[in-house]
Amino acid sequence: MNAILLGILALPLLAALALWALPIALGDRLAALYGAVVSGLVLVGSVLLWQRTEGWFAYSGVQQRLGDSMRPLAAVTDGPWIPPLGVRFHIGVDSISVPLIVLTALLTFLCCIYSLKITPRIGRMRSLIALLLVIEAGVIGAFSAMDLVLFFVCFEIVLIPMWLIIDIWGDDHDRAGRKRAATTFVLMTVFGSALMLLGFLLVYRQAGTFDLVQLTNSPVLGGHGVPLAAALLIAVGLAVKVPLWPLHIWLPDAHAKAPTVGSVILAGVLLKLGTYGLIRILVPVLPDATVTIAPYLAGFSTVAIIAGSLACLGQTDVKRLIAYSSVGHMGFIGLGIASLSEAGMQGALFANIAHGIITGLLFFLAGAIKDRHDTSDLRTIGRALYARLPRIGALLTFACLASLGLPGLAGFWGEMLILLGAYNPADSLPRATYLVFMVIAGLGTVLTAAYFLRLIRNLCQGDPADNPASAFAVDLSRIELITWSPLVVLTVLLGVWPGLLLAQWGNL
């Protein structure tokens, strides 16, 4: 059991090193296949993990439930790592981390499959695949870390690979732009994580341990003073990653400049680290301080929803638009977490997964459109995609509808539960404020619909006469179909059967 977890942690790393060891010519040819095999194995392993986990081991957002909500972790490996610093190597999974791990494995796998046929213009596939595997390992590590410092380390592992991916394989039309985007991303995230580390150290000073299980069992109480400072630092550090308005500024550029697989991983997986951290660390470890800052967190999330949607309405670049839509959606997740209610929490967790799937699909589609037109600028691409690329257009419409939270598709349940959580938040929170937030967020869903419809209208629809089909624009290729169909299926499946995930988290 824990062998599986260790395996899916170690396998990608070792595989990446082995890949770099290969000679370049050979490596470039084999890379995608090799990556597909490895990440496929990881995916199998993560699914195996899923079967064995039951329940959510810790959620102390509601204090009185603390006692009976404790369930044992699965796949635990616990050993000393750096005794002088009190750092342990403690990993394990429960039902809130496993779905995210599976999502990570799935998206990486799909990216590798996608790279079998469709590769960035620069080539250098060997390094690209290897970096993807490293990122996968880091993210899985972060999702399974049960020690604050281990979490921090895994949180940092992904930075440099992602920076390289954006900087090397990014938009090959403006080199300066992609370098700036990459650097902004990595620097802001590093600063955030440094602040988060300070928060962890404050926690350590109070509690004397970095171990999440112990910290969850006996959280750091007290809503002001050092716990509050720690909570603030941790929240800000993670908010950079989420990203929460106004710390989102790195996101649009990073997503817009990154290569397709980079955007997919970035939006589908990396953003989840932030929200996962909030749920896994902030809420259980610093309950009282969290209650103190929750209203502000919720407020900023609500602003993020509105500001993100409005910004989307003003975008003229399809990748930027989708990136900004992530700002809005992550705002919803933040609101759900800040409601500190079970509905909100589960909504946030659900929305994490749903956003990963749907936005992954959206970025795949955006990448496909960009590859076909060699630009992602709506005005240059022209309109009437239905006429030129009917299948891709239809898929885009589907993805947009899913992303704007159409009931019956995956996007809905998360947002619904989050709004429900905001409707009756935890008793310790000001209800009236949250009602206001709920209403604003509800209007935000309308804005979301507005910008997605605008996208469909300006991109897919229009008069074919004045938007002639470009010569090389071939419709949905087989590899794209293979890559995207799992995402589509999952979107529908989770949409009609939310219990699939909700049952995992069950009654806390």
Partner 1 sequence: MTLTWTDWQAIAVPLVLAIGAVAVLLIDAFWRSSTAQLRHTVVTLLTGAVILFGIVFVWAQRDDFKPAFCRPVTEGPAECSLVFEPLTAGLWGVLLIGGLGVVGLSAYRLLSADIPVGEYHFLLLSALVGATTLAGARDLATVVIGLEVVSLPSFALVALRRDRRGSEAAMKAFLVSVLSTAVMLFGISYLYGVTGSLHLTTIANRLNGLDANLERVAFAAGLFVIVGFGFKIAAVPFHAWLPDTYVGAPVEVTAFLAVVSKSAGVAGLLVLVVTGLAPDGSDLRLVIAILAAVTMTVGNLAALRQREAVRLLAWSSIGQVGFLLAPLAVGDAQAVVGYLAAYVIVTLGAFGAVAVVQRHRPSGLLSDYRGMVRSEPGLAVALIFFLVVLAGLPPGLAGLFTKFAAFQSVIDAHLGWLAIVMAINVMIGLAVYLRWVAELFLLPADDPFSVDIETPAVVMVSLFTAAAVVVSVLPSTLFALAT
Partner 2 sequence: MIATVWRVAGVGFSLLLILIAGLLYGVAPEQTSFLNSSVGDLTIGFAVRTDDLTVLLLAVVGVVATCVQVYSLSYLHERAASYHALVTLFTAAMATVVVADSLFLLLIGWEVMGACSYLLISHYWERRDARSGAVKAFLMTRLGDVGFLFGIFVLGVGAGTFRISELDPAQISPGVLTAGTLLLLVGVVGKSAQVPLQTWLPDAMPGPSPVSALIHAATMVAAGVFLIARLYDVFSASATTMTVLAVIACVTMLFAALCAMAAVEVKRVLAWSTVSQLAIMFSALSLGTQEGRHAALFHLVTHAAFKGLLFLCAGVLLHQVGSAAFVVLRRYTRRGKLRKTLRVTFVTMTIGLAALAGVPGFAGFFSKDTVLEAAWEHAHKDGSAIGWVVLASVGLTAAFTAFYCARLWLWVFFRTPALAGAMGAFEQDDPMADLEDPDTSKLKEAPWLMLGPLVLLAVAAIGLGYVDGLHLNWVIALGSTVLVLFGVLPAYSLWSRGADPRPVVLEREFGMDRAYHGLFVVPVRWLSKLSVLGDRDVIGAYVRAVGRSGTLASQGFRLLQTGNVQTYLTGAVVGVVALAILAGVIAR
> Which residues, numbered 337-366, are part of the site for partner 2 (CB under 8 A)?
341-343, 346
Alpha helix (H) ranges present in 22-66?
Answer: 24-52
Residue closer to partner 1, measured from CB, 23 or 67 = 23
Residue closer to partner 2, measured from CB, 25 or 465 = 465
Is 468 among the residues that bind partner 2 (CB under 8 A)?
Answer: no
292 vs 218, 275, 296, 324, CA distance in Å? 19, 18, 8, 29
202: partner contacted, choices partner 1, partner 2, none (Cβ within 5-8 A by kind): partner 1
The answer to whether the Cα torsion of 9, 15, 18, 23 is positive or negative is negative
> Which residues, numbered 7-36, are part of the site for partner 2 (CB under 8 A)?
none
401: partner contacted, choices partner 1, partner 2, none (Cβ within 5-8 A by kind): partner 2
Alpha carbon distance 410, 412 (integer Å): 6
- CB of 508: closest distance to partner 2 in angstroms? 7
Question: Identity (one letter) of the amino acid at 57?
Answer: F
Residue closer to partner 1, measured from CB, 134 or 447 = 134
Dig out the tokens for 315 from the structure: 């975008």
Cβ-based neighbour number of residue 131 at 10 Å: 26
- Which one of 85, 221, 446, 503 is in contact with partner 1 (CB under 8 A)? 85
- Which one of 22, 65, 156, 295 is in contact with partner 1 (CB under 8 A)? 156
Residue 440 φ/ψ, nearest 5 degrees: -60, -45
Is 76 among the residues that bind partner 2 (CB under 8 A)?
Answer: no
Residue closer to partner 2, measured from CB, 42 or 354 = 354
Alpha carbon distance 319, 190 (integer Å): 24
- Which one of 182, 240, 307, 351 is in contact with partner 2 (CB under 8 A)? 307
Give the interface segment with partner 1, choosing from 198-206, 294-302, 348-356, 458-466 (CB under 8 A). 198-206
- Which one of 416, 418, 459, 490 is in contact with partner 2 (CB under 8 A)? 416
Burial classification of residue 446, based on how many CB atoms lie within 10 Å of its CB (0-12 exposed, 13-18 middle, 19 or more buried): exposed
26: partner contacted, choices partner 2, partner 1, none (Cβ within 5-8 A by kind): none
Cβ-based neighbour number of residue 296 at 10 Å: 12
Residue closer to partner 1, measured from CB, 183 or 292 = 183
- Which one of 34, 163, 185, 412 is in contact with partner 1 (CB under 8 A)? 163
Radius of gyration of the chain (CA): 22
Cβ-based neighbour number of residue 67 at 10 Å: 9
Cβ-based neighbour number of residue 130 at 10 Å: 25
- CB of 383: closest distance to partner 2 in angstroms? 9
Distance between the two ends of the chain, CA-based, in angstroms?
A: 24
Give the interface segment with partner 2, choosing from 52-60, 259-267, 437-445, 475-483 (CB under 8 A). 437-445
- CB of 321: closest distance to partner 1 in angstroms? 29
Question: Would you call the peptide bond into 83 cis, given omega within 30 degrees of 0 as the criterion?
Answer: no
- Which one of 72, 208, 225, 442 is in contact with partner 2 (CB under 8 A)? 442
- Which one of 3, 10, 24, 26 is in contact with partner 1 (CB under 8 A)? 24
List 80's β-bridge partners, or say none.
88
List 89's β-bridge partners, or say none.
79
- Which one of 6, 249, 436, 476 is in contact with partner 2 (CB under 8 A)? 249
> Which residues, numbered 275-314, are part of the site for partner 1 (CB under 8 A)?
none
Selection from 327, 335, 329, 271 nearest residue 302 by Cα: 335
Residue closer to partner 2, measured from CB, 12 or 347 = 347
- Which one of 183, 214, 217, 461 is in contact with partner 1 (CB under 8 A)? 183
- Helix crossing, 410-423 with 431-455: angle to 10°? 160
Is 259 among the residues that bind partner 1 (CB under 8 A)?
Answer: no
Residue closer to partner 1, measured from CB, 86 or 295 = 86
3-state DSSP call for residue 199?
helix
- Which one of 52, 117, 173, 205 is in contact with partner 1 (CB under 8 A)? 205
- Cβ(323)–Cβ(235) below 8 Å: no
> Which residues, numbered 176-205, are part of the site for partner 2 (CB under 8 A)?
184, 188
Residue 53 φ/ψ, nearest 5 degrees: -85, 140
Q: Residue 291's Cα: distance from chain center in Å?
A: 24
Is 389 among the residues that bind partner 2 (CB under 8 A)?
Answer: no
Alpha carbon distance 315, 59 (integer Å): 39
Question: Would you call the peptide bond into 246 cis, given omega within 30 degrees of 0 as the criterion?
Answer: yes
Listed in sequence order, the residues at least 6 apart from 496 whose beta carbon sits closer than 8 Å to its beta carbon are 408
Contacts with partner 1 by CB under 8 A lie at: 24, 81-85, 87, 122, 124, 138, 149, 153, 156-157, 159-160, 163-164, 167-168, 179, 183, 186-187, 190-191, 194-195, 197-198, 201-202, 204-205, 229
Contacts with partner 2 by CB under 8 A lie at: 184, 188, 246, 249-250, 252, 307, 310-315, 341-343, 346, 384, 386-387, 394, 397, 401, 406-408, 412-413, 416-417, 419-420, 423-424, 438-439, 442-443, 445-447, 449-450, 453-454, 457, 460-465, 496-499, 502-503, 506-508
